[in-house]
Amino acid sequence: MQEHTNPYPDVIKKICQFKNKFNKLPEIKIMIRAIDRYKGDVNQQIKVNLSSDKIRSKEELDIEIKRQLPIFLEIINYKRNKENEPNVKNNQIIASAFLDIGEHRDIEISYASEIYIPVMKRLVEESRIKIKELTTWK
């Protein structure tokens, strides 16, 4: 039996390799998702025109979310009803940036950041302490 492994270290490594090779980040897509996530929840891509990899207007994003919200709610709530999980309402949806890289699909950028920014900060702080210990002469 293979243990569950977190895909994010591999994803972050692949993003860095992509950036070094092509001098740009992988294509970003905007998706809607439930604020409170449950295992197996779906995300739905929102087709929004980007200008220089940025959303042109919040109004345009809001229009697309409202247009696609009924279908998204139907799909996610169907899954949640089967799993006896709480339903999602209109005001419990957010838009977020995702990307695909290698065999990894629909990786949420902010979620990966939430996990790894604190880890990186801790590594920097521990490195500073270790350098201080190694360079302090008694």
Confidence of residue 138 (pLDDT cuts 50, 70, 90): low
As a whole number of angstroms, the distance between CA 63 and CA 16 comes to 33
Which tops the pLDDT comparison, 51 or 91? 91
Global pTM value: 0.74
Which pLDDT value is given to residue 5? 60
Average pLDDT across the chain, whole number? 86
CA distances from 21 to 7, 27, 28, 62, 72 (A): 21, 14, 17, 35, 36
The ranges assigned to domains in the chain are: 8-109
Residue 53 confidence class, pLDDT cut points 50, 70, 90: low
DSSP reduced 3-state for 125: helix
Please, how many CA atoms are within 13 Å of residue 60, restricted to the half-sphere of its CB?
11
